[in-house]
Amino acid sequence: RSRRSKLAVAILFGSHDEKDEENYNQFQNFFFSHFALFEAHVEKLKSTIEIAYFNNRNFLPTIMEALELFRNDVYDLYMTQRLAEPVWLTMMSATTYKTKLCEKFMDTFTWLVTKFDNKNCKFFVSTLLSAVLTQHLAWVATVTPAGGTPAHTYQDKHTAKWVDTLAKTHPYNPLWAQLGDLFGAIGVPRKISRTVVVGKKADIVKKFLYVLSYFIRCSEVHENTDPQCLNLIVNEPYLDVSLSPTTKSNVGRPKVIRSCDSCRCCENSSSQSQTNCISKSSVVSESSQPDHNEVFSVGLNGIRAPSLGLSELHNYIVPHSLPIETNAFDKSLPPVISAIENVPNFPTSEVTDFSNFSEQVVRSQSFSGGKVRSRLSQQLETNIVQSSVVVNKGKSAEILKFLSKSNCGMLSSNLETSNVVKKPQEGVEDSRCVETSSGTCACISLDNRKDAEAKALNCRQSNHYVRPTYFSFSCRSVTPTGLSRRRHLSSTGSIDYEAFDPMIHCKEVKMPFAIEDCGEWQIRAFDRNFGRSLLASYSDHYLSDFVLHGTSDADYRPRLLNDLQSTVKHSILDEPIDEAVCVIADTDQWTVEVASSKVMGISPSGCTPWTSSKIVADLIESVVEISRLKMSSEFCLMHLEDRLQEIYFKSHMLSEYLTGAKTYSQRELTSMLGFETSDMALLMAVAGTHSPGLSQFLSA
């Protein structure tokens, strides 16, 4: 039996220095946020050591050499000078000097184009841009047209709302998403892309880096401030009071019926938005008269809340709640019951009383209480569904807007199940849409057929009345790749359970107060923002980790190829990738090549020369020309974005065609769709970001 030996490598990063707390913290932050990059270097070191071990004559020297390399890499990673002003990120966050920024960018851009986008320089700018746009695909998401937004302002750029929604329901790691953006790991097949601008003339290389930092894009990350919330929670004596079922001190406090969804939504609506509130009531009727016996309109802080069929509620709760024996419940329930009993006698003018009640939510602590509450809540939900909101004439259009927005998802799914004709919704596929409102689910889950039908009926009525407003304002649909590209593989699967854990009767505890939004600031520091840390400036030697950098180094190729190989082996995204590529732009020779880990197997140089795409060349020409006509820089950039959007549309057409076609020939394709052959690489890459199924054609 052979004995296997184990090797261990320990790496010590400078120890804690009391005097230099700030630096220490910065490095610590940098270390943990850039851990994936550190790990890649450790992997590299590890494999060198393995090789050295088997070749034990040179064991120590080899290791020392590898260690030296490791140290240099890490030093570079931390110490290299960054681009002071990555254009895209700066513009994105700038509010005041935007015009100046645009002007500066356009000036540089036109200067470069005029100077170097000609025959003598082998149309360097358009070739470089074609390559960069093909490899660093994060720009695609930034030109994908947004769905309608209720905002009135025509912004030249919109922030994507679906990201927020996604973050709420499916928490993901924005830092990681940003890293993927930067490395262009957006499409299918998944690539990691970098760009190196090589050249002896520092100022020209720097200009190119500056311009490219507009096209190599990523999302911007923000950090919430962290006031001492947790300290309060941990030390707050309120815990004793609000949580303990037996304490009497809260008799005076409003009790809480956790169950009734409508109540909760009232509560919500008063604090944040009307969405929840209205979305739960599915019906709007402009003309229906409130039936005073059954339907009350509930006004809460001027917001129209769903009115409830109270008589049913009344009938229901009394018989069931009386026999409850639990101590806690006895104490908390009687006032509630009396309140409810009284309600049906209220004239409408006193309705606000009810709304106060509904804000008070009785927390049921015991199992038997829970039973009541479940049925109660069902009852309530049904009531809500069947009841109608009374909408007065003078109401703000906003409410309607919210209504139509939050209803959409719900309506369509309900309508489908009950075979009612679904109204066509322009342009939005609901199924792919991240739901905009959090309130809808409760209604959907009532999959009781009867309810659904009742609802559908109501919906139809509401359609009838509100039809002009029935329109989907929801967010743009998330592309399948978009969803997965935000989240790491591991957070999608394994910890989402199939079945539900069996529950013991848990005590319900109120959510602690959320982090206040008092401070959300943009992370400018490079230690926690890849957008700031991985776009490097000009350096005298080749650098391994950076998405973009310039160098005067002439002898970088072996290292670059080596890097590509190890990137494929140990992906910095911690997910398998298909290919690692690097765009090499040589400003001395005016050549643009793309080195790829895949090509390395075929040819030793690993590089393919790139050619300019017609679409990109046209784009550049048109932007520069209109800028020469003295159109404002801002408009020129808007035009540039519009033209990029055209590329997106074209890629859509292409993917539409390819999914329909069984076979195709390149020639046929270009003649039929009006693309040049030179555009194909770009369009296919872009199509890969929204139609993952196309990868088979890519290899063809």
Partner 1 sequence: MNAIISLCHFCELHGPKILYCTQPFRPQEPKPPGTEEVETDIIHKLKSSTFAVPSSGAESAVIPSFSSSAKDRCDGCKSVQMGFVSHDDEAKVSYVSTQQPYNPEVFTRIRQACIRSLSSEVCPGREGPIFFGDTQCGHVLSYTFYIPDTQARGMHRWYSILVVMMDKIYLLNSWPFLVPHLQIVIQSLQKKARGIYDAEEAKCPQRPLRMEARVNPSNFIKQRGGSKPARSLQEITGDKNVFQMLHVAFLWILKACGSRITEKLLEGPPTEDTIIDMEKQEETEEGFIKIFTRKLDGSDLVQAESEADQDGDKSPELEINYQEELEEDYDDQFDLAVTDIRHLRKVLGRANFQALSHHVVIGNQIIVSGHERSLVKSVINVLKTLLPKGCCRVIPWSLKYEESWRCNFLGLSPDASLPQHVNSSEMFVLVEIVLKAGLASASGGTNNSSLVASSVETDDNHGTEREISSDFSSGISGPASDLSDLSLGTEGQEKFPDLEHFEFKMSSPTTLPAKVPTVLAKMLMAVDNNNLTLEVVEAAFTCLREEWMNKVKVLFKFTKAGGNRSEEDTKKLLQIVGARSEDKQLLMFWMTGLSVQYREHILAASAPGNIHK
Residues 35-64 that bind partner 1 (CB under 8 A): 35-36
Interface characters, 212-251, with partner 1 (x: CB under 8 A)? -------xxxxxx-x--xxx-xxx---xx--xx-------
Give the nearest distance from C-beta 655 to partner 1 in angstroms. Answer: 8
Backbone angles phi, psi at 518, to 5 degrees: -65, -35
Selected from 291, 341, 625, 676, the binder of partner 1 by CB under 8 A is 625
Residues 378-397 that bind partner 1 (CB under 8 A): 397
The contacts of residue 233 (CB under 8 Å, 6+ apart) are 239, 512
> Closest approach of Cβ 187 to partner 1, in Å?
16
Residue placing its CB nearer to partner 1 in the complex, 234 or 700: 234
Q: In residues, how long is the chain?
A: 700
* Strand-pair category, 389-390 with 284-285: parallel
Q: Which is nearer to partner 1, 556 or 664 (CB)?
A: 664
In the bound state with partner 1, the residue whose beta carbon lies nearer, of 332 and 404, is: 404
Cβ atoms 243, 509 nearer than 8 A = yes
Apex 267 CA angle, 264 and 272, nearest 5: 120
Within 502-521, the residues that bind partner 1 by CB under 8 A are 502-512, 514-515, 520
Query: CB 141 → partner 1: shortest distance, Å?
Result: 6
Binders of partner 1: how many residues, by CB under 8 A?
A: 150
d(C-alpha 625, C-alpha 620), whole Å: 8
Least separation in angstroms between CB 553 and partner 1: 30
Nearer to partner 1 (CB atom), residue 63 or residue 653: 653
Which residue lies nearer to partner 1 by CB, 47 or 425?
425
The tokens of 292 are what?
């005073």
Least distance in angstroms from the C-beta of 212 to partner 1: 18
Of 382, 373, 372, 377, nearest in space to 447 by CA: 382
Q: How far is the CB of 34 from partner 1 (least distance, A)?
A: 9
Query: Measured from the CB of residue 104, what is the shortest distance to partner 1 in angstroms?
Result: 13
- Span 83-142, contacts to partner 1 by CB under 8 A: 92, 99, 141-142
According to CB under 8 A, which one of 339, 631, 680, 698 is a site residue for partner 1? Answer: 631
Residue span binding partner 1 (CB under 8 A) among the ranges 118-126, 354-362, 489-497, 537-545: 489-497
Identify residues 279-318 at the interface with partner 1 (CB under 8 A). Answer: none
Q: Which of 248, 500, 662, 699 binds partner 1 (CB under 8 A)?
A: 500
685, 678, 684, 680: which is closest to 612 by C-alpha?
Answer: 678
CB 328 within 8 A of CB 366: yes
Q: Which of residues 179-208 bind partner 1 (CB under 8 A)?
A: none
Each as own residue / partner, the long-range contacts of residues 488-496 (CB below 8 Å, 24 or more positions apart, any chain) are 488/172, 488/173, 488/176, 488/573, 488/574, 488/575, 489/575, 490/574, 491/170, 491/171, 491/172, 491/173
Give, to the nearest 10 degrees, the angle between helix 367-386 and helix 261-271: 70
Which residue in the set 499, 540, 601, 662 belongs to the binding site for partner 1 (CB under 8 A)?
Answer: 499
Looking at the Cβ atoms of 167 and 202, the one nearer to partner 1 is: 167
Of 648-667, binders to partner 1 (CB under 8 A) are: 648-650, 652-653, 656-657, 660
Q: Are 254 and 554 in contact (CB under 8 A)?
A: no
Give the torsion sign (CA, 273, 278, 279, 284): negative
Region of 124-132, 339-347, 637-645, 691-699 interacting with partner 1 (CB under 8 A): 637-645
According to the binding rule CB under 8 A, does residue 422 interact with partner 1? no
Where in 2-41 is the site for partner 1 (CB under 8 A)?
A: 28-29, 32-33, 35-36
Interacting stretch for partner 1, rule CB under 8 A, among 208-216, 310-318, 342-350, 624-632? 624-632
The answer to whether 531 touches 173, Cβ cutoff 8 Å, is no
Report if residue 693 touches partner 1, rule: CB under 8 A. Answer: no
Query: Within 346-385, which residues bind partner 1 (CB under 8 A)?
Result: 367-368, 370-371, 374, 377
CA–CA separation, 686 and 135 (whole Å): 9
DSSP annotation of 506: P
Q: 55 phi and psi, to 5 degrees? A: -110, 70
CB 387 within 8 A of CB 306: yes
Cα–Cα nearest to 78, from 125, 130, 35, 19 = 35
Helix (H, G, I), strand (E, B) or coil at 536: strand
Does 598 participate in binding partner 1 (rule CB under 8 A)? no
**Residue 175 in tokens:** 């830092």
Residue closer to partner 1 by CB (options 35, 97) is: 35
Cα(657)–Cα(641) distance, integer angstroms: 25
